[in-house]
Structure 1
Amino acid sequence: MEERHPTSTALEYLNPSYWDERFSKEEKYEWFKDYSHFRHLIQPHLTPHSSVLELGCGNSQMSEDLYKDGTTNITCIDLSSIAVDNMQKRLLSRGLRDIKVLQADMLELPFDDECFDLVIEKGTMDVLFVDSGDPWNPKPETISKVMATLKGVHRVLKANGTFISITFGQPHFRRPIFNAADFSWSVEYTSFGETFHYFVYVLKKGQRSSYEDIQLKRFEAPRINLFHEELESEDFAFRINVDELNN
């Protein structure tokens, strides 16, 4: 039976030893809900031949679900060696040898330029914001880490590749970062959830018309009612903690 991890304070998420300890005890956990809630948003950007990179896989089953949906060229990374070791063992036990799992830092991606069709992260970048200070004017060290991550993602994406970010980050906070002149991607987003909103950003490399401060475009997606789940998950506590730190 899956062990529920005690509610944690958001600042603990910045400590690598917290994740090692957690992953040594916890079999699986899905930040911002499982793949079934995002499948309809991810699949239009995939083909059976797509190469996919997942940032901060932790103990999520998203890579397995993508594989079952027909995408087999998948690479997952995580900073925690324990998470990586556990994921490798789990995938091997389920006969999923094709999924690669590597220990790596998303701030310094160890991959060649333009080698992935899709990069996806689910709550991983949010960790960088838990001690960011004023959300309208984040600390320089926060911006430096976020930009390092995004520049790495932009670099490893193929021409016309796609970056999907699933996050609590609201458009008016993420817009200045995604629209930085360093990037050639267009940006669209949608949201779902009843009491608390999750945002899904779709960034398409090479489709930005200029480096001007463009508006984010919203696209509509089917509504999914998560109310009952939201009140019982650690995502709820994470949202409260981040909001408190930013107020």
Structure 2
Amino acid sequence: MFSTLSCDYFEEEQFDWHQKWYGVKHIFTELDIKNDAKILNVGCGTSKFSEEMLDSGYTDITNIDASSACIKKMKEIYKDKPNLKYMLMNVCDMKEFKNAEFDLIIDKACLDSIVCSEDSLKYIEEMLSEVSRILKSEGTFVVISHAQPTYRLGYLQKQDYKWNVTIKTVKRPMLGIVSKYFLR
């Protein structure tokens, strides 16, 4: 399903869905995410989000996307930044990662994209099961979504995951509307 994605729609510019780092940085500060936390950004696309996190002091950021064109582009852009790693990977099948490997997993519109796909319930379950598997027991999963909480809470509050879900709301830049943030 996700292996045929293209990066053409990004053209020459890097692109951020929903929110830039500086619009949500305060939430990561509130969560007390340490600079040396092992971080995974799923569905990274061509966003500058991870670069901006690196510039803010975070030192270990892995980014995955199912688009080979996006990953190729990002590897080229950040070839001189070894703390930003880019891997071609399907978020529904992250077997290259060990159990309980990450302190923080960030999803910025990846779940939103899967919700809109054919067979979405199957893929949502696969994605969230993988996130649950590779997230440390005391880790944090941040979902940055355009959807109202009622449309995402059912997926995130599944008892198997044992997640405590908290909702934070921030205004989206330039649009004056609100993005929802679901935190573990």
TM-score w.r.t. length of structure 1: 0.68
1:115 maps to 2:93: no
1:169 maps to 2:120: no
TM-score w.r.t. length of structure 2: 0.89
**What is the identity, as a one-letter code, of the residue corresponding to 2:87?**
L
> Using a 3 Å threshold, how does the CA distance of structure 1 residues 67 and 48 change in structure 2: closer, same or farther?
same
How far apart, CA to CA, are the structure 1 residues paired with 2:134 and 2:2? 27
Name whichever structure is richer in strand by fraction.
2
Taking only aligned residues, the RMSD between alpha carbons, in angstroms, comes to 1.8
1:59 maps to 2:75: no
Percent of aligned positions with the same letter in both sequences?
A: 25
1:84-233 residue pairs with structure 2 within 5 A? 84-92=71-79, 95-109=80-94, 110-131=96-117, 141-193=119-171, 195-203=176-184
1:72-91 residue pairs with structure 2 within 5 A? 72-91=59-78
How far apart, CA to CA, are the structure 2 residues paired with 1:147 and 1:122? 17
* 1:146 partner SS: helix
How far apart, CA to CA, are the structure 2 residues paired with 1:98 and 1:192? 28
**What is the identity, as a one-letter code, of the residue corresponding to 1:147?**
E
* Deviation for aligned residue 1:160: 0.4
The 8 Å contact of residues 2 and 67 in structure 2, kept in 1 or not, is answered as: no
The 8 Å contact of residues 45 and 162 in structure 1, kept in 2 or not, is answered as: no
* 1:120 partner SS: strand
Residue of structure 2 equivalent to 1:32: 18
The 8 Å contact of residues 45 and 118 in structure 1, kept in 2 or not, is answered as: no
How far apart, CA to CA, are the structure 2 residues paired with 1:15 and 1:129? 13
- Return 5+ residue gaps in structure 1 as ranges: 1-13, 133-140, 204-247
How far apart, CA to CA, are the structure 2 residues paired with 1:58 and 1:131? 17
- Count of aligned residue pairs for this structure pair: 179
How far apart, CA to CA, are the structure 2 residues paired with 1:32 and 1:159? 28
* Deviation for aligned residue 1:54: 0.2
How far apart, CA to CA, are the structure 2 residues paired with 1:152 and 1:18? 20
The 8 Å contact of residues 2 and 66 in structure 2, kept in 1 or not, is answered as: no
- Return 5+ residue gaps in structure 2 as ranges: none
